A and B are shown apart, each in its own frame.
Chain A
Amino acid sequence: MVGGTAGEGVDLPGTLFGKLCMSAGLRLKTNAEFHSVIKGYNNIYQIRASENPVYSHMSKYDLVLALDKDTTDLYMDDVVPGGGVIYDPDITKVEREGVKLFPVPLRAIAKEKVGLELAKNVVGIGAACGLLDYPIDILLDLLIKTFARKGKEITSKNIDAAQAGYNYVRENFPKEFDYIIKPKKNPEKTFMANGNYMITFGAIKAGCKFVSEYPMTPSSSVLHCMAKHAREYEISVNHVEDELSAINMAIGAGFSGCRSMAATSGGGFSLMTEAVGFAGMTEIPIVIVEVQRPGPSTGLPTRSGQGDLRQVLHASQGDFPKIVLSPGTHEEAFYMAFEAFNLAEMYQCPVILLTEKYLGEGDANIPFPDTTNLKINRGQLLDDNQIDDNFLRYKNTKNGISPRSIPGQKGGAHTASSYEHREDGYFTEEIDECNSIHERRMRKLDTLKNLLPPVVIEGKENAEVTLVCWGATYGPAYEAIEWLKKKGISANLLHVKYLSPLQPGINEALSKTKRPILIEGNITAQLGGLIAEKVGIDIQSKILDYSGRPFTPDQIAREVIKIIK
Chain B
Amino acid sequence: MRTPKDYTDNTGKPNWCPGCGNFGIEAGLKMAMSKLNLDPDNVALVSGIGCGANAPYWFNTYGLVTLHGRPLPVATGVKLGNHELTVIAWSGDGDAYGIGMGHFIHAMRRNANVTYLVGNNTVYGLTKGQASPTAEKGQISPSTPFGTPDPNIDPLALAMSSKCSFIARGFAGNLPHLSNLIAEGIKHKGFSLIDIYQPCVAWDKTHGYAYYQEKTFDLATVNHDVTNKQAALKMIFDKSEKLPIGIFYKEEREVYEDEQPQFKRGPLAHRDIENINIKAIFDQYSF
Chain A residues close to B by CB (< 8 Å): 19, 22-23, 142, 145, 189-193, 197, 201, 204-207, 209-210, 212, 229-236, 238, 240-242, 244-246, 248-260, 274-275, 278, 282, 368-369, 371, 376, 406-419, 424-427
Q: Looking at the complex, which one of B61, B77, B273, B274 makes contact with A413 (CB distance below 8 Å)?
A: B61
Cα A373 to Cα B39 in complex, Å, equals 40
Task: Determine if B244 is an interface residue (Cβ-Cβ < 8 Å).
Answer: no
A424: which B residues are within 8 A, CB to CB? 11
Are B65 and A275 in contact, CB atoms less than 8 angstroms apart? no
Q: In the complex, how many angstroms separate the beta carbon of B51 from the nearest chain A beta carbon?
A: 13
Are A238 and B67 in contact, CB atoms less than 8 angstroms apart? no
Q: Interface size for chain B: under 10, 10 to 19, 20 to 34, or 35 or more residues?
A: 35 or more
Cα A189 to Cα B269 in complex, Å, equals 35
Task: Determine if B205 is an interface residue (Cβ-Cβ < 8 Å).
Answer: no
Task: Determine if B282 is an interface residue (Cβ-Cβ < 8 Å).
Answer: yes
Are A376 and B67 in contact, CB atoms less than 8 angstroms apart? no
Are B286 and A252 in contact, CB atoms less than 8 angstroms apart? no
Q: Looking at the complex, which one of A192, A241, A256, A282 makes contact with B269 (CB distance below 8 Å)?
A: A256
Within 8 A of A (CB), among B196-212: none
Are A245 and B268 in contact, CB atoms less than 8 angstroms apart? no
With known contacts A236-B263, A245-B103, A257–B269 Cβ distance under 8 A:
yes
Cα A233 to Cα B262 in complex, Å, equals 8
Q: Looking at the complex, which one of B69, B262, B274 makes contact with A235 (CB distance below 8 Å)?
A: B262
With known contacts A235-B262, A407-B85, A417-B57, A251–B41 Cβ distance under 8 A:
no
B273: which A residues are within 8 A, CB to CB? 206-207, 209, 259, 376
Q: Looking at the complex, which one of B42, B268, B284 makes contact with A210 (CB distance below 8 Å)?
A: B268
Cα A249 to Cα B74 in complex, Å, equals 5
Cα A369 to Cα B282 in complex, Å, equals 9
User: Which of B12, B276, B280: most chain A Cβ within 10 A?
Assistant: B276
Residue of B nearest to A197 (CB): B285
A371: which B residues are within 8 A, CB to CB? 278-279
With known contacts A212-B77, A252-B75, A407-B42, A245–B102 Cβ distance under 8 A:
yes
Q: Looking at the complex, which one of B43, B56, B85, B281 makes contact with A201 (CB distance below 8 Å)?
A: B281
A411: which B residues are within 8 A, CB to CB? 41
B60: which A residues are within 8 A, CB to CB? 413
Q: Looking at the complex, which one of A207, A229, A255, A410 makes contact with B64 (CB distance below 8 Å)?
A: A255
Besides A191-B284, A256-B269, A257-B81, 5 new A-B residue pairs in contact (Cβ under 8 A), listed by A number: A192-B286, A210-B81, A230-B262, A234-B271, A235-B262
Task: Determine if B14 is an interface residue (Cβ-Cβ < 8 Å).
Answer: no
Cα A255 to Cα B268 in complex, Å, equals 12
Are A406 and B287 in contact, CB atoms less than 8 angstroms apart? no
B77: which A residues are within 8 A, CB to CB? 210, 212, 248-256, 260
Are A426 and B67 in contact, CB atoms less than 8 angstroms apart? no
Cα A36 to Cα B59 in complex, Å, equals 51
Residue of B nearest to A231 (CB): B261
Within 8 A of A (CB), among B59-107: 60-67, 69-70, 72-82, 84-85, 102-103, 105-106
Are A241 and B271 in contact, CB atoms less than 8 angstroms apart? no
Q: Looking at the complex, which one of A205, A206, A234, A282 makes contact with B262 (CB distance below 8 Å)?
A: A234
User: How many contacts between A and B, using CB within 8 angstroms?
Assistant: 217
Residue of B nearest to A419 (CB): B65
- What are 12 contact pairs spanning A and B, CB under 8 A? A190-B286, A209-B273, A212-B73, A231-B261, A231-B262, A248-B66, A253-B268, A368-B279, A414-B63, A415-B65, A418-B66, A427-B57
Cα A258 to Cα B80 in complex, Å, equals 9
User: Which of A278, A376, A407: most chain B Cβ within 10 A?
Assistant: A407
Residue of A nearest to B11 (CB): A426
Q: In the complex, how many angstroms separate the beta carbon of B266 from the nearest chain A beta carbon?
A: 10
Q: In the complex, how many angstroms separate the beta carbon of A48 from the nearest chain B beta carbon?
A: 18
Could you give, for residues 15-49 of chain B, a 1 whenever the CB lies within 8 Å of some chain A CB and a 0 otherwise? 00000000000000000000000001111101001
With known contacts A209-B271, A231-B261, A19–B282 Cβ distance under 8 A:
no
Task: Determine if B127 is an interface residue (Cβ-Cβ < 8 Å).
Answer: no
Task: Determine if B221 is an interface residue (Cβ-Cβ < 8 Å).
Answer: no
Q: Looking at the complex, which one of B63, B84, B265 makes contact with A408 (CB distance below 8 Å)?
A: B84
Are B287 and A22 in contact, CB atoms less than 8 angstroms apart? yes
B240: which A residues are within 8 A, CB to CB? none
Task: Determine if B270 is an interface residue (Cβ-Cβ < 8 Å).
Answer: yes
Task: Determine if B283 is an interface residue (Cβ-Cβ < 8 Å).
Answer: yes
Cα A197 to Cα B278 in complex, Å, equals 12
B267: which A residues are within 8 A, CB to CB? 256, 408
Cα A145 to Cα B286 in complex, Å, equals 12
Residue of A nearest to B82 (CB): A256
Residue of B nearest to A375 (CB): B274
Are B268 and A251 in contact, CB atoms less than 8 angstroms apart? no
Are B66 and A245 in contact, CB atoms less than 8 angstroms apart? no
Cα A191 to Cα B285 in complex, Å, equals 5
Could you give, for residues 112-153 of chain B, a 1 whenever the CB lies within 8 Å of some chain A CB and a 0 otherwise? 000000000000000000000000000000000000000000
A427: which B residues are within 8 A, CB to CB? 54, 57, 65
User: Which of B11, B44, B270, B281: most chain A Cβ within 10 A?
Assistant: B281
Are B41 and A257 in contact, CB atoms less than 8 angstroms apart? no
Cα A199 to Cα B262 in complex, Å, equals 21
Task: Determine if B223 is an interface residue (Cβ-Cβ < 8 Å).
Answer: no
A246: which B residues are within 8 A, CB to CB? 73
Q: In the complex, how many angstroms separate the beta carbon of A137 from the nearest chain B beta carbon?
A: 15
Q: Looking at the complex, which one of B49, B63, B84 makes contact with A415 (CB distance below 8 Å)?
A: B63
With known contacts A22-B287, A418-B49, A248–B67 Cβ distance under 8 A:
yes
B263: which A residues are within 8 A, CB to CB? 236
Are A191 and B49 in contact, CB atoms less than 8 angstroms apart? no
A235: which B residues are within 8 A, CB to CB? 262, 268
Cα A411 to Cα B39 in complex, Å, equals 11
B82: which A residues are within 8 A, CB to CB? 256-258, 406-408
B44: which A residues are within 8 A, CB to CB? 255-256, 407
With known contacts A23-B287, A253-B80, A408–B276 Cβ distance under 8 A:
no
Q: Which 9 A-B pairs have the closest CB atoms?
A: A252-B77, A207-B273, A256-B81, A257-B269, A415-B63, A248-B73, A253-B81, A249-B77, A252-B74
Residue of A nearest to B77 (CB): A252
Cα A411 to Cα B103 in complex, Å, equals 32
B261: which A residues are within 8 A, CB to CB? 231, 234
Cα A278 to Cα B69 in complex, Å, equals 13
Residue of A nearest to B15 (CB): A427
Residue of B nearest to A284 (CB): B64
Q: In the complex, how many angstroms separate the beta carbon of B98 from the nearest chain A beta carbon?
A: 14
B11: which A residues are within 8 A, CB to CB? 424, 426
Are A252 and B73 in contact, CB atoms less than 8 angstroms apart? yes
